[in-house]
Amino acid sequence: MSGPFREAPPPEKAVSRRNPATTLAVVGGALAIVALVLGMLFSGPTYVDEGDVQNQESMQAREPAANPAP
C-alpha cells in the first residue's frame, strides 16, 4: 500500500444488504413518532364555556327521569 489511501473493495463486497428487521424497526419507530406528534397537535386543550356547562346541568335537572322509581 503506497500513499494514505487504501484500495477500494471489490464491487461485490461494496454492496451490502440491509437487515429487513432493522429497516422495519426504523420505519415503525418513525411512524410512532409521527403518530405521537399528530396526536399532540390535534388533542390540544379544549376550552369549555362555563355557561354551556350550567345550561346542560339545568336542562338535565328539568328533564323527567327516563325510568321513574316504582
pLDDT digits (tens, 9 = 90+) for 10-58: 666 555 677 889 999 999 999 999 999 999 888 876 666 666 655 565 5
What pTM value is reported for the model? 0.40
CA nearest to 53, candidates 63, 61, 43: 61
Query: DSSP labels for 8-70?
Result: PPPHHHH--PPPHHHHHHHHHHHHHHHHHHHHHHHT------HHHHHHHHHHHHHSPPSS---
pLDDT at 62: 57
pLDDT at 66: 63
User: CA 35, CA 41: separation in Å to the nearest integer?
Assistant: 10
